[in-house]
């Protein structure tokens, strides 16, 4: 099973991502800060994909990305920044210079999330009923 890490200081975003990604059939590790992510990081068992908010207290997503890259080098998993803010020059430069780094602008549709994951993993995905997503099912869960 593919494993995805989500780092975001917004508990609502973490909850939505956890539920959605589990519905898609992935193992999900959620962390409310960069410190929590690094505390639980096992370099021998890196996630297959990382979603990380850009703006967080203590350590930004960009700082997290750079620290992770320094720690694991070429083994760094594909990385997706998420943000509701306008792009900064620093983030734009990083996105242009680094292969395997993408941006998912908040708010995003679950279809965008699913398409990004499919584009990233394509043939590695096993299509089971878990990967069939019903937006109605998610809405009912929140009502």
Q: How confident is the model at residue 120 (pLDDT cuts 50, 70, 90)?
A: confident
Residue for token pair 């996630």: 47
Neighbours of 10 (CB within 10 A): 16
Strand pairing category for 101-105 and 3-7: unpaired
**pLDDT at position 126, please?**
59
Q: CB of 14 within 8 A of CB of 32?
A: yes
pLDDT digit string, tens, across residues 19-54: 999 998 899 999 999 999 999 999 999 999 999 999
Q: Which has more pLDDT, 71 or 122?
A: 71
CATH topology of domain 3-142: Rossmann fold (3.40.50)
pLDDT above 60 for 64: yes
**pLDDT at position 128, please?**
46
**pLDDT at position 69, please?**
96
Tokens of 72: 């694991």
Q: CB of 57 within 8 A of CB of 33?
A: yes
Q: CB of 65 within 8 A of CB of 37?
A: no
Neighbours of 31 (CB within 10 A): 21
Integer Cα distance of 80 and 103 in angstroms: 5
Integer Cα distance of 40 and 74 in angstroms: 20
Q: CB of 103 within 8 A of CB of 95?
A: yes
Q: CB of 11 within 8 A of CB of 33?
A: no
pLDDT digit string, tens, across residues 87-98: 889 999 999 999
**pLDDT at position 142, please?**
34
pLDDT above 60 for 131: no
**pLDDT at position 1, please?**
85
Averaged pLDDT of the chain: 87
**pLDDT at position 134, please?**
45
Percent of the chain with pLDDT over 70: 85
Where are the domains positioned within the chain? 3-142
pLDDT above 80 for 129: no
């Amino acid at each position: 099973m593919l494993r995805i890490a989500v780092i975001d200081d917004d508990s609502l975003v973490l909850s939505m991502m956890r539920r959605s990604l589990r519905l898609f059939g992935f193992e999900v590790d959620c962390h409310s800060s960069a410190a929590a992510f690094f505390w639980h990081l096992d370099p021998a068992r890196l996630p297959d994909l990382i979603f990380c908010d850009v703006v967080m207290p203590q350590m930004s997503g960009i700082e997290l990305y750079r620290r992770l890259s320094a720690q694991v080098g070429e083994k760094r998993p594909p990385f997706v920044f998420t943000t509701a803010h306008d792009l900064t020059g620093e983030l734009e430069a990083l996105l242009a210079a680094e292969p395997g780094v993408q941006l998912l602008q908040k708010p995003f549709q679950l279809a965008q999330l699913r398409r990004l994951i499919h584009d990233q993993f394509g043939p590695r995905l096993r299509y089971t009923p878990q990967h069939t997503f019903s937006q109605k099912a998610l809405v009912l869960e929140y009502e």
